[in-house]
């Protein structure tokens, strides 16, 4: 028995007190055990699967999962919708997943789109990643692809997720800012995490300002496996591509839309479905043979990396149609519990350490958030196929078992529920060889943090680069700590010297002197503008066009153009000085849908001003009307005017030397005709201008009205 020595105890306490006075604290578990590493989970080998033995990871993640009640810790603000998925052809060669076999079978789905950082009451249009989670209600059980609208992530190992979200969330001393990363804590964390730089480039890009949930891509992020009937496995990455194309808004527009309509995205989604404009997404996969796993200059298990489509093309395999809004937000959208662990035979995991952690974390947080392990019995979470097991009781137990047998093996219940062999649909994990020492280390193949960040920068158009730089200036301009800014400039310099030069000059800080070599590689699929240019058909379906009018409007012009827009699939709404009805120049009443008080140009994709001397004269006297079209011009949207309506554009100073005031075509998306004799040609040109989404040449300062 060791004798208690009060002198030694006093010496230890004095040393600890001195250490703490100097500001030092050892990181420990909640039990007081000092932690040697908190950057990597415990794995079988540096590229092996995470071990359940990792008590530090489990404690850290379990505590994090329970931090907020009752909303989701992340992805709290969301919008849900029902629909179906239908494959194009059998994928039997690659996977035995039944829902990917028969092109005639429609599998029900529920999709939840969301922001990540903000609370449930935050605005839809914050600069943020968007969640893109899809549940397939298959005959073999629920299968969830729980992804985002960005193909990569901030971190490589799930053990860092609590640290990331703590840094992203409002600073704890004042709960500011809401749903934004423009603060010291976030950028301090990022400046010390080079692995985040690829994701940061995407975060600062237009991808985090989607025009609509219906117009953004979705990605499974991780590398998964397809396994076929013969047991052959291949690696796979999932891609969702919107049929309407990928479109974004600008930062000024996002900020104003968040004020005018905080529900901008969820309202847009719900309204589109109510009107029968069902959102459609094509599911595609990148498939990599197991033997090719190591042929790339990056690790396919690294979630901060993507596989460029030039190296592995995306194979379209089916289409998802979203055609029904939820009946109740809470019961469905709020209570739906997605989990990466929800898989079916034919689909399996990889050893991606971020995925391995999510498999545990999501199930754990759903139990906490919904109050019971019986959350799977909620209608939105129940599979459509029969399910039987020996799990019993607990809070919210909906099932009423009638058998006295609740254990396995048993004979009193004839052995039921019995296990299922693989050939009868029983899930069997892929037999992947695993070996290695138990270590907290990261594979050397995860060490390149800048090549793909540079690839992303190189792939952007000049307009997209300008938006990215401005986003960086906004974010870092809100950071008060000089050391954080300096570290970020060094990281941006490792991405591209031109990039850091533009950012440093905008911040008024010295440009790093070392010029890092840019590899010069590009991937066109990473640019929104390039994708838009390559779309086989540019459409204005579901686009919203504001028609500015009041009493005395030229009814013939307005109705003709409005009908042409609606025939092309757009929604044309009359915005007037007052509600109720206005009178056209033919004396007939016209219903008003919105007023200048209840609307704004940021809620529309384009603007049209019809003629009518009385109407235009009244609009000219309305500052809101002039601001409406000036703001739309600033945001590079298509604008059109006929007859006297052209005068309103002149008042707003939109018809400068570079614009035609009497032509059907304009290189900057302003379509005008003072004496329209052919409204069909005029409407065709306006529709063409809208279909281009934005006219970025207007972003030149000399072209934007003061």
**Confidence at residue 33, expressed as pLDDT on a 0 to 100 scale:** 82
The mean-pLDDT minimum among 83-87, 417-421, 533-537 falls in 417-421
- 518 lies in the same domain as 564: no
- Give dist(CA 406, CA 267) in Å, integer: 47
| 697 band by pLDDT with thresholds 50, 70 and 90 | confident
- 510 lies in the same domain as 548: no
Would 406 be classed as within a structural domain?
Answer: no
Would 398 be classed as within a structural domain?
Answer: no
Four-CA torsion 433, 437, 443, 445, nearest 10 degrees: -50
Q: Indicate if 406 belongs to the active site.
A: no
| 562 band by pLDDT with thresholds 50, 70 and 90 | very high
Number of domains, the chain: 3
Would 348 be classed as within a structural domain?
Answer: yes
Token pair of 7, please? Answer: 């002198």
**Confidence at residue 355, expressed as pLDDT on a 0 to 100 scale:** 97
Helix (H) or strand (E) holding 108: strand 107-115
- Give dist(CA 442, CA 193) in Å, integer: 14
The residue written with tokens 């033919």 in the block is 586
> Are the beta carbons of 546 and 606 closer than 8 angstroms?
yes
Question: What is the spatial order of strands in the sheet that 638-642 belongs to?
Answer: 594-595, 571-576, 544-548, 606-609, 638-642, 670-673
Would 108 be classed as within a structural domain?
Answer: yes
Would 340 be classed as within a structural domain?
Answer: yes
Give the pLDDT confidence of 638-692 residue by residue, as tens digits.
999 999 999 999 887 776 534 444 554 456 899 998 888 889 999 999 999 999 9
- At 161, give phi and psi (nearest 5°): -65, -45
Domain range for residue 641? 537-703
Q: Is the peptide bond before 36 cis (omega within 30 degrees of 0)?
A: no
| 3 band by pLDDT with thresholds 50, 70 and 90 | very low
- 281 lies in the same domain as 317: yes
- Give dist(CA 107, CA 83) in Å, integer: 9
Give the pLDDT confidence of 93-144 residue by residue, as tens digits.
999 999 999 999 999 999 999 999 999 999 999 999 999 999 999 999 999 9
Give the pLDDT confidence of 354-364 residue by residue, as tens digits.
999 999 999 99
Within the chain, what is the greatest distance between any pair of CA atoms? 106
- 528 lies in the same domain as 544: no
Would 88 be classed as within a structural domain?
Answer: yes
- Give dist(CA 609, CA 286) in Å, integer: 47
Helix (H) or strand (E) holding 563: helix 555-567
Give the pLDDT confidence of 388-418 residue by residue, as tens digits.
888 888 888 888 888 888 888 888 888 888 8
CA pseudo-torsion sign 170, 176, 179, 180: negative
Residue of 142, 148, 149, 554 marked catalytic: 148
Give the pLDDT confidence of 286-328 residue by residue, as tens digits.
999 999 999 999 999 999 999 999 999 999 999 999 999 999 9
CA pseudo-torsion sign 72, 75, 81, 84: negative
- 464 lies in the same domain as 605: no
- Whether 257 shows a pLDDT value over 60: the answer reads yes
**Confidence at residue 706, expressed as pLDDT on a 0 to 100 scale:** 47
Token pair of 328, please? Answer: 């109740």
Would 77 be classed as within a structural domain?
Answer: yes
Give the pLDDT confidence of 475-527 residue by residue, as tens digits.
999 999 999 999 999 999 999 999 999 999 999 999 999 999 999 999 999 99
Q: Is the peptide bond before 299 cis (omega within 30 degrees of 0)?
A: no
- CA-nearest of 196, 219, 216 to 206 is 216
- Give dist(CA 295, CA 265) in Å, integer: 41
- CA-nearest of 148, 158, 256 to 208 is 148
- 491 lies in the same domain as 582: no
The residue written with tokens 């042409």 in the block is 564
Give the number of other Cβ atoms within 10 Å of residue 189's Cβ.
19
- Give dist(CA 249, CA 698) in Å, integer: 15
- CA-nearest of 530, 539, 645, 630 to 206 is 530
- 553 lies in the same domain as 502: no
DSSP state of 652: T
Q: What is the CA radius of gyration of the chain?
A: 29
CA 15 to chain centre: 49
Class of residue 201 by CB neighbours under 10 A (exposed 0-12, middle 13-18, buried 19+): buried
Percentage of the chain modeled with pLDDT above 70: 94
- Whether 705 shows a pLDDT value over 70: the answer reads no
Give the number of other Cβ atoms within 10 Å of residue 438's Cβ.
12
| 704 band by pLDDT with thresholds 50, 70 and 90 | low
- Give dist(CA 71, CA 114) in Å, integer: 13
The mean-pLDDT minimum among 45-54, 75-84, 385-394 falls in 385-394
Token pair of 386, please? Answer: 């029969």
Q: Indicate if 148 belongs to the active site.
A: yes
| 420 band by pLDDT with thresholds 50, 70 and 90 | confident
Please report which residue ranges of 103-224 form alpha helices under DSSP H: 161-168, 184-191, 197-203
- CA-nearest of 647, 587, 565, 654 to 613 is 647
DSSP state of 330: I
- 685 lies in the same domain as 639: yes
**Confidence at residue 653, expressed as pLDDT on a 0 to 100 scale:** 75
- 169 lies in the same domain as 303: yes
Would 425 be classed as within a structural domain?
Answer: no
Q: In DSSP terms, which residues pair with 44 in a beta bridge?
A: 438
Helix, strand and coil percent figures for the chain, each rounded to 5: 35, 15, 50
Sequence-ordered list of residues with C-beta below 8 angstroms from that of 549, at least 6 positions apart, any chain = 558, 574, 575, 576, 582, 590, 609, 610, 612, 615, 619
- 543 lies in the same domain as 492: no
**Final residue before a domain boundary, out of 377, 406, 423:** 377
- Give dist(CA 625, CA 546) in Å, integer: 11
Alpha carbon separation from 41 to 46, 343, 429, 498, 542 (Å, rounded): 10, 23, 22, 36, 46
- 522 lies in the same domain as 620: no
**Confidence at residue 657, expressed as pLDDT on a 0 to 100 scale:** 38
> Are the beta carbons of 281 and 90 closer than 8 angstroms?
no
- CATH number (domain holding residue 473): 1.20.1370.20
- 528 lies in the same domain as 663: no
Residue of 56, 75, 82, 693 marked catalytic: 75
**Confidence at residue 2, expressed as pLDDT on a 0 to 100 scale:** 44
**Confidence at residue 68, expressed as pLDDT on a 0 to 100 scale:** 63
How many residues are there in the chain?
Answer: 706
> Are the beta carbons of 237 and 153 closer than 8 angstroms?
no
First-to-last alpha carbon distance for the chain, in angstroms, is 85
**Final residue before a domain boundary, out of 503, 533, 563:** 533
3-state SS class at 420:
coil
**Final residue before a domain boundary, out of 338, 360, 377:** 377
CA 64 to chain centre: 22
């Amino acid at each position: 028995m060791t004798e208690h020595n009060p002198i030694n105890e006093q010496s230890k306490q004095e040393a600890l007190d001195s250490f703490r006075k100097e500001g030092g604290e050892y990181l420990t578990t909640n039990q007081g055990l000092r932690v040697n590493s908190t950057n990597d989970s415990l794995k079988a080998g540096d590229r092996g699967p995470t071990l359940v033995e990792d008590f530090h990871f489990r404690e850290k993640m379990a505590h994090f999962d329970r931090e907020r009640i009752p909303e989701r810790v992340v992805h709290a603000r969301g919008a849900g919708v029902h629909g179906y998925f239908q494959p194009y052809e059998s994928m039997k060669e690659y996977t035995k997943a039944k829902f990917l076999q028969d092109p005639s079978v429609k599998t029900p789905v529920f999709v939840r789109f969301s922001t990540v950082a903000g609370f449930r009451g935050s605005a839809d249009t914050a600069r943020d990643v968007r969640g893109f989670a899809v549940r397939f209600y298959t005959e073999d059980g629920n299968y969830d692809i729980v992804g985002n609208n960005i193909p990569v992530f901030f971190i490589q190992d799930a053990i860092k997720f609590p640290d990331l979200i703590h840094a992203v969330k409002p600073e704890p001393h004042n709960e500011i800012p809401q749903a934004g990363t423009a603060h010291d804590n976030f950028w301090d964390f990022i400046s010390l995490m080079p692995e985040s730089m690829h994701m940061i480039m995407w975060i600062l890009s237009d991808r985090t300002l989607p025009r609509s949930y219906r117009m953004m891509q979705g990605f499974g992020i991780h590398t998964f496996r397809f396994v076929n009937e013969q047991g052959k496995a291949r690696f796979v990455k999932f891609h969702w591509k919107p049929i309407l194309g990928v479109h974004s808004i600008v930062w000024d527009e996002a900020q104003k839309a968040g004020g005018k309509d905080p529900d901008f995205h969820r309202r847009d989604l719900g309204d589109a479905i109510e009107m029968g404009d069902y959102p459609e997404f094509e599911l595609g996969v990148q498939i990599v043979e197991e033997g090719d796993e190591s042929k790339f200059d990056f690790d396919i298990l690294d979630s901060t990396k993507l596989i460029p489509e030039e190296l592995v093309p995306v194979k379209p395999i089916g289409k998802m149609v979203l055609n029904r809004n939820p009946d109740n937000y809470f019961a469905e959208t709020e209570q739906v519990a997605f989990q990466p662990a929800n898989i079916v035979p034919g689909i399996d995991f990889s050893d991606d350490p971020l995925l391995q952690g999510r498999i545990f974390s999501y199930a754990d947080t759903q139990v906490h958030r919904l109050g019971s392990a019986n959350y799977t019995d909620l209608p939105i979470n129940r599979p459509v196929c029969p399910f039987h097991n020996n799990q019993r009781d607990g809070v919210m137990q909906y099932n009423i078992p009638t058998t006295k047998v609740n254990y396995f093996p048993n004979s009193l219940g004839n052995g039921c529920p019995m296990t299922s062999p693989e050939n009868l649909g029983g899930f069997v994990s892929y037999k992947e060889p695993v070996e290695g020492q138990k270590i907290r280390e990261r594979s050397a193949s995860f060490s390149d943090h800048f090549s793909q960040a540079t690839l992303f920068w190189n792939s952007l158009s000049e307009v997209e680069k300008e938006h990215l730089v401005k986003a960086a200036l906004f974010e870092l301009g809100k950071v008060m700590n000089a050391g954080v800014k300096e570290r970020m400039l060094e990281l941006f310099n490792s991405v591209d010297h031109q990039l850091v030069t533009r950012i440093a000059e905008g911040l008024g800080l010295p440009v790093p002197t070392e010029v890092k070599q840019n590899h010069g590689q590009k991937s066109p699929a990473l640019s929104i503008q390039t994708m838009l240019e390559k779309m086989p058909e540019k459409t204005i379906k579901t686009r919203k066009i504001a028609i500015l009018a009041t009493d005395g409007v030229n009814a013939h012009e307005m109705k003709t153009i409005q009908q042409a827009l609606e025939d092309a699939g757009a929604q044309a709404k009359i915005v007037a000085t007052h509600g109720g009805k206005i009178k056209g120049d033919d004396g007939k009443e016209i219903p008003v849908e919105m007023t200048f008080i209840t609307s704004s140009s940021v809620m529309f994709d384009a603007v049209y001003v019809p003629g009518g001397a009385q109407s235009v004269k009244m609009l000219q006297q309305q500052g809101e009307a002039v601001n409406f079209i000036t703001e739309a011009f600033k945001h590079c949207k298509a604008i059109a005017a006929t007859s006297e309506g052209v005068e309103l554009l002149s008042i707003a100073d939109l018809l400068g030397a570079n614009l035609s005031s009497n032509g059907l075509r304009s290189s900057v998306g302003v379509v005008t005709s003072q004496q329209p004799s052919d409204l069909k040609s005029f409407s065709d040109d306006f529709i063409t201008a809208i279909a281009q989404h934005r006219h970025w040449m207007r972003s030149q300062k000399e072209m934007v009205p003061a």
